[in-house]
Amino acid sequence: MTVHFPFQNSYSALPDSFFARVAPTPVAAPRLIKLNRPLAVQLGLDPDLLETPEGAEILAGKTVPAGADPIAMAYAGHQFGNFVPQLGDGRAILLGEVIDQDGARRDIQLKGSGPTPFSRRGDGRAALGPVLREYIVSEAMFALGIPTTRSLAAVVTGEHVMRETVLPGAVLTRVASSHIRVGTFQFFAVRRDTEAIRRLADHVIARHYPELIDAERPYHALLAGVVARQANLIARWLLVGFIHGVMNTDNSSISGETIDYGPCAFMDAYNPSQVFSSIDEMGRYAYANQPRIALWNLTRLAECLLPLFDEEQEKAIAEAQDILGAFSETFSVAYQAGLRKKVGLFTERDGDDALIQDLLDAMAKNQADFTLTFRKLADAAGDPDADDARAQFMDPGAFDEWAKRWRERTALEPQSAAERQAAMHAVNPLFIPRNHRVEAVIQAALADDFTPFEEFVKVLQKPFEDQPDYAAYADPPLPDQRVLQTFCGT
């Protein structure tokens, strides 16, 4: 039987200026190392056929399936604040779109599938390490309930790529609600192509915000919708200690999904100034800066949409500023509500925000592990004698002082200790893709041992559940295991 992809390609039906038609470059000897079988089923694909040699050839870009209309998408972007008028998919090719079992349109894209007209002297390939990192982290984010692109498959190509050294080549099959970015709008704005901006905005509304089609001012409503989704997304990042690492405008999704997992990482010890990206020397994309940068990116989107708002620029700017003004409140509401859930508060009272901030301040001062502090606090909610949370603090007395106030506050609520613990366990993960574990998995894979990768992915599928057989995966790194820098996958 032949692997069948029920493609319906709406983006490639847009004008030619939106993309370049280009086929993936065939590779020597593709070998499937991981297929996300549940996701394949969700997409209406046959996982058994995808696991055949024919399936591996498709997932590596060696064979283009029937119905595909492969394209490299055009976009621009601000990279660390510097504008580049043409970026585009330099090592990714969108095969097409499918309608999943929930009726949602999903892109199927190959990353590392060869050069495109946007490659800018790059080889268009990907190394195995970054492919595995994106697979691990994106699927972990999905299990954590955070909007994200997904990983359908990872394939080794049988070829090598040259980076700082010679590395095995690989291809990731990425699934997204779409790959339309703030930078996609910027590509046309810098060219003053207002009609293309309008076509793109109409496409985005129809695809991602269909409830806005009949809005009185649909383009204003579109900006408001993107602002709301991004504000909620960034709040959810912060609530699990996630640092994206490269929040450039070309890595900011219009759909509200987390996209482009390059030098991303989850914090171990809580530090609002934490930076992992090797190229973020000024800390632009540090953990605590992410809300501010998201608003900066959204402001760039608003600039692109101004011609659709009003012919009078001053009026258009005022309207855009009014919409952007909602970001801070939307983010704050989502973030504070999430923090209350993390510490087991079901109601709101005066002083709650200060109580939670005092915990965060003590965590930062005492280098407390972000994930384990909240998880062990959940244990303490159900057992007054549980002291694993205080063990995260260099000065356990700092936790004791705070915990006394916390217990006084929770005593004012009607929920039982068991109810509070269950609710806290449901929002405070035990297992996250810690950097040192990701690196260990990659090193094993470079020696062609994918057993640690398989086990790690399995554990991360159930981040909120106690998994006694895999308890070691919850441990923070020892001093000699700490990973202080992560790198882009290009």
Residue with tokens 């999704």: 253
Residue 250 annotated among the catalytic residues of the structure: yes
Q: What gap in Å lies between CA 33 and CA 158, rounded to an integer?
A: 12
How many angstroms separate the CA atoms of 327 and 312, rounded? Answer: 24
What pLDDT is recorded for position 488? 56
Q: Is the pLDDT of residue 147 over 70?
A: yes
State the sign of the Cα–Cα–Cα–Cα dihedral 311, 313, 319, 324: positive
Q: Which of 46, 102, 123, 250 is catalytic?
A: 250
- Residue 209 has a pLDDT of 98
Stretch 424-436: mean pLDDT: 97
What's the mean pLDDT in 11-36? 97
Yes or no: say if 276 and 267 are a contact pair by the CB < 8 Å rule: no
**Mind giving me the DSSP string for 238-304?**
HHTTEE-S---GGG-BTTS-B---SS-EE-SB--TT---BTT-TT-TT-GGGHHHHHHHHHHHHHHH
Helix (H) or strand (E) run with residue 155 in it: strand 150-162
pLDDT of residue 361: 98
The tokens describing 462, both together, are 């159930």
pLDDT in tens, 119-138: 988 899 999 999 999 999 99
pLDDT at 490 over 50: no
Dist. CA 96–CA 26, nearest whole Å: 18
Using one digit for the tens of pLDDT, what is the confidence trace for 263-307?
999 999 999 999 987 788 788 999 999 999 999 999 999 999 999
Q: Answer yes or no: are the C-beta atoms of 309 and 323 closer than 8 Å.
A: no
Report helix, strand or coil for 97.
Answer: strand
- What is the H or E stretch that residue 72 is in? strand 71-73
Look at residue 144 and give its three-state secondary structure: coil
Closest CA to 186 of 79, 105, 303, 95: 303
Q: pTM value?
A: 0.96
pLDDT computed for residue 256 by the predictor: 98
Say yes or no to pLDDT of 480 above 80.
no
